[in-house]
């Protein structure tokens, strides 16, 4: 449930304030935080491949703290999608990542984005040391083992082996005809299984297991985070992935598992708008044609799939907002600003293309009011400003900053009356405490609005 966290009482905040008071605090916090690239072993996970058939990869940075060895943060990267021959061809030919829409060639191949993923410094929730002495201790996951899973399937992590043949001209103007496959769900499941089995260092292959890092007992914690396209995918997978992590063999019920859904819902607006044109995308990812979806090639939330067992109605299970409101039962923290030009773009008024659309102010009002619709056990952070993907990104300011006037604001954070009164990192620390039964009076859960 959304929370209000007054700037007092919790150990994390006490330590943070103490740090801020140190006259001798350094002006610059530590630098690079290298992560190790691992390829998923396709002899074990044969379907964990990217659009072009190359092996899917993840980047891992293990904790240096013994007490955190069984605590994991798994990040599912965003990057838009492609859903037709034309859009996938455009994506494939965007070699330098400069052409719209969101996503590029890097999001279709296994080795894409390596330069941006091999160092977790200044990557929001992945960052161990903040972006200044003021935010050194602000990240509640700073000591976790961390995995950043590269998005290379262009299907919002939902595909299960659907194939298409992409045709046209390549970036050099030469004829192109190549098969592409959509395996996002297989990749997500493989990484979670690798963590569960303690085989992160080998990509899931071999016989060597490090039991110290297996999240298999009541002291363990696994936080699954999805960003943008990753958030849409995680909404579809969260309950199933949580059930797998808690399935035998585990001790004393297994790990605490919860999710973070960042920038993928339109709760508070007419959800049916987000259902438009979805059937076309699902049919393409499934290997079907026109509006024919090959059901076994698309992953959906199981309880929603039970409610809508066949297509075309089953396409309603692709809507993250609907899943959050009606079907997901695993604890989840939802981060969504009140106006997102990508997520909420379908609602925006346009004199020619959408004359019945909404103004920016109407969208903000709807999204803000929509916080009251979420189940009481969910965390909701919905600041009334336009900034995508609060939780992870090159600019740590939105994730780490507080603007309630009690804490110094780190660089690049501007205080206004429209921003949330506590930082997202602080709100997440409160929600994490709640999941682990450690909530104090410093983290109060008030109504349905993050304050």
pLDDT of 11 over the 60 cut: no
| pTM attached to this predicted model | 0.88
Instruction: Name the band, by pLDDT with cuts 50, 70 and 90, for residue 442.
Output: low
State mean pLDDT over 292-300.
Answer: 97
Question: Other C-beta atoms within 10 Å of 290: how many?
Answer: 9
Question: How far, in Å, CA of 375 to CA of 267, rounded?
Answer: 12
- Look at 35-49, 102-116, 182-196, 396-410 and tell me which has the smallest mean pLDDT: 396-410
Considering only residues 414 and 364, tell me which one the structure prediction assigns the higher pLDDT. Answer: 364
Res 439: pLDDT: 66
Residue extents of the structural domains in the chain: 11-435
Cβ distance 399 to 351 under 8 Å? no
pLDDT above 70: residue 267: yes
Ranking 126-140, 229-243, 349-363 by mean pLDDT, the lowest is 126-140
Looking at the predicted structure, is the pLDDT value of residue 138 above 90? no
Please determine, for residue 382, whether its predicted confidence score (pLDDT) is greater than 70: yes
Confidence at residue 185, expressed as pLDDT on a 0 to 100 scale = 98
pLDDT for position 440: 61
Question: When comparing pLDDT for 13 and 222, which is higher?
Answer: 222
pLDDT digits (tens, 9 = 90+) for 66-75: 999 999 999 9
Per the prediction, the chain carries an average pLDDT of 84
Tell me what pLDDT residue 339 has.
80
User: Around 105, how many Cα atoms within 13 Å sit in the side-chain half-sphere?
Assistant: 11
Number of helical (H) and strand (E) elements in the chain, helices listed first: 11, 10
d(CA 120, CA 245): 25
Distances (CA, A) of 282 to 80, 236, 237, 288: 14, 13, 16, 8
When computed from its CA atoms, the radius of gyration of the chain, rounded to whole angstroms, is: 21
| SS3 state of residue 200 | helix
Tens-place pLDDT, residues 156-202: 999 999 999 999 999 999 999 999 999 999 999 999 999 999 999 99
**Token pair for residue 65?**
């703290």
Query: What pLDDT does 443 receive?
Result: 64
Share of the chain above pLDDT 70, in %: 80
**Which of the residue ranges 84-98, 130-144, 209-223, 348-362 would you say has the lowest mean pLDDT?**
130-144
DSSP string, 204-240: T-SS---GGG---STT-EEEEEEETHHHHHHHHHHHH
Lowest mean pLDDT among 42-46, 324-328, 390-394: 390-394
């Amino acid at each position: 449930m959304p929370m209000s966290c007054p700037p007092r009482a919790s150990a994390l905040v006490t330590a943070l304030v103490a740090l801020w008071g140190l006259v001798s605090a350094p002006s610059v916090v530590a630098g690079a935080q290298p992560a190790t690239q691992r390829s998923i072993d396709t002899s074990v996970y044969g379907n964990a491949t990217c659009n072009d058939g190359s092996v899917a990869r993840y980047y891992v940075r293990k904790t240096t703290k013994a007490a955190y060895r069984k605590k994991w943060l798994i990040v599912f990267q965003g990057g838009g999608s492609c859903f037709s021959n034309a859009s996938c061809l455009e994506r494939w030919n965007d070699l330098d990542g400069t052409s719209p829409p969101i996503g590029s060639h890097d999001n279709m191949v296994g080795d894409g984005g390596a330069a941006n993923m091999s160092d977790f410094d200044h990557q929001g929730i992945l960052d161990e040391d903040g972006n200044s002495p003021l935010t050194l201790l602000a990240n509640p996951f700073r000591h976790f083992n961390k995995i950043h899973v590269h998005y290379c399937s262009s299907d919002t992590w939902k595909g299960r082996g659907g194939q298409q043949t992409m045709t046209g001209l390549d970036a050099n103007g030469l004829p192109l005809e190549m098969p592409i496959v959509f395996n996002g769900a297989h990749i997500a499941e493989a990484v979670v299984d690798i963590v569960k089995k303690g085989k992160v260092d080998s990509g899931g292959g071999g016989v060597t297991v490090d039991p110290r890092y297996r999240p298999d007992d009541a002291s363990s914690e696994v936080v699954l985070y999805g960003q943008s396209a990753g958030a849409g995918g995680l909404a579809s997978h969260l309950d199933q992935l949580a059930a797998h992590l808690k399935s035998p063999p585990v001790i004393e019920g297994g790990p605490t598992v919860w999710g973070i859904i960042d920038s993928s819902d339109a709760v508070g607006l007419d959800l049916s708008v987000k259902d438009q044109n979805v059937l076309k995308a699902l049919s393409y990812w499934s290997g079907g044609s026109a509006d024919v979806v090959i059901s076994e090639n698309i992953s959906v939330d199981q309880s929603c799939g039970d409610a809508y067992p066949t297509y075309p109605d089953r396409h309603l299970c692709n809507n993250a907002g609907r899943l959050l409101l009606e079907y997901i039962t695993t604890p989840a923290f939802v981060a969504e600003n009140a106006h997102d030009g990508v997520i909420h773009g379908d609602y925006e008024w346009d004199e020619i293309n959408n004359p019945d659309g909404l103004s920016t102010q109407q969208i903000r009002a709807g999204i803000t009011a929509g916080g009251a619709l979420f189940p009481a056990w969910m965390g909701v952070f919905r600041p009334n400003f336009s900034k995508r993907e609060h939780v992870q990104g090159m600019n740590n300011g939105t994730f780490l900053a507080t603007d309630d006037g009690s804490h110094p604001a780190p660089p690049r954070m501007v205080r206004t009356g429209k921003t949330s009164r506590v930082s997202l990192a602080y709100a997440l620390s409160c929600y994490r405490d709640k999941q682990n039964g450690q909530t104090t009076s410093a983290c109060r859960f008030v109504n349905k609005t993050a304050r």
